[in-house]
Amino acid sequence: MFDKNFRNEPVEIRGQIVKLGKNKLIKVEVDRLPTGTSIEIPVYVFNGKEPGPTVLIQAGLHGDEVNGVELVRRMLSRDYFKVNKGCVIIVPLLNVFGFLNLSRDLHGKDLNRSFPGSRSGSLASRIAYFHMQEIANNVDFGIDIHTGGAQRSNYPQIRYTPNCERSKKLAKVFNAPYNFPSRLIPKSFRKEASKHDVPIIVYEAGESLRISKTALKYGIEGVLNILEHFEIVPEREDKPTPVVSVELNQRKWIRAKIAGLFNIRVKNGEAVKKGQILGYITDTYGETVTSVKAPFDGYVFAVNNFPIINRGDALFHIGK
């Protein structure tokens, strides 16, 4: 399923070379503010001495998804990347402008809808082009870390590419509480990488502009599971008992039938039964109450935490 004859070579990014057995932080200038201040994308390279796969770990593709940035920061600060075999390339924050502006986008453009990019296009297009040419095209597979969007919290989950056995295997090895196939979105990083035969799995956990201990816990464990599986880093002596990852084959968003105030009555990640009340929608003055029920036996793996909702808003994502 994976080529065991992995090569291990010096890594070159923007003219800087990282030899075998060496580590380096490379700061790639992508633009300047109107004040002249340089904006740089940090790229960490941990290049082992022995042959093994080259793995990309990235976060911050959407600027407001700070969980991934914190996840990678913790792993770096705890010195988890003691690479013996292969190479680990880490981009802890790709969308620096979005991060500074607490925004998903970059100058009004979604970076994750800008691939493959171009050398002379918009800033989003140029960053996408750099990312594909100098990083993504030089790895064997990758882990892309995301969170839910505004007000939506995802319970830790891995998404892999349908009909791609390698990405499905990576999802199994990562071993998040939930896993399922997810279609490739046009102009996304994962779709563009798939064109170059580079499988990417997406770890989704938490919500934008929030730090989640649960998201960090399962995310760090999952990344280490993959690195240890390929013998890139030594196996932990105190490895926790693995969770039983549930594969979801059917998924459905439950949407609000009326507008009002939304009250949740289940926990994110919880197993539910058909007909079970998941929450209530009430009018502002307490005159009406509408219950939101589970359409089938399954698991809640995403919730809308915003209390004021409109008709048609997504409330719960349920799978079985």
Q: What angle do CA 99, 123, 118 make, to 5 degrees?
A: 135
Q: Which of 217, 192, 195, 190 is nearest to 206 (CA)?
A: 217
Q: What percent of the chain has pLDDT over 70?
A: 99
Residues 248-319, CATH architecture: Beta Barrel (2.40)
What tens digit of pLDDT does each residue of 221-238 get?
Answer: 999 999 999 999 999 998
Q: How confident is the model at residue 4 (pLDDT cuts 50, 70, 90)?
A: low
What tens digit of pLDDT does each residue of 30-71 get?
Answer: 888 889 888 899 999 999 999 999 999 999 999 999 999 999
Per-residue pLDDT at 1:
59
Domain boundaries, the chain: 11-229, 248-319
What is the overall mean pLDDT for the chain? Answer: 95
Cβ neighbours of residue 270 closer than 8 Å, sequence gap 6 or more = 299, 300
Structure tokens at 11: 């890594």
C-beta neighbour count of 215 within 10 angstroms = 27
What tens digit of pLDDT does each residue of 251-289 get?
Answer: 999 999 999 999 999 999 999 999 999 999 999 888 899
C-beta neighbour count of 156 within 10 angstroms = 27
Note whether 127 and 93 are within 8 A (CB).
no
Judging by beta carbons within 10 Å of its beta carbon (0-12, 13-18, 19+), is residue 294 exposed, middle or buried? buried
284 to each of 47, 180, 212, 256, how far by Cα in Å?
Answer: 58, 38, 30, 15
Note whether 127 and 106 are within 8 A (CB).
yes
Q: Which CATH superfamily is domain 11-229 in?
A: Zn peptidases (3.40.630.10)
Judging by beta carbons within 10 Å of its beta carbon (0-12, 13-18, 19+), is residue 65 exposed, middle or buried? buried
Per-residue pLDDT at 5:
76
Per-residue pLDDT at 64:
97
- Rounded CA-CA distance 239/192 in Å is 34
What tens digit of pLDDT does each residue of 111-144 get?
Answer: 999 999 999 999 999 999 999 999 998 899 999 9
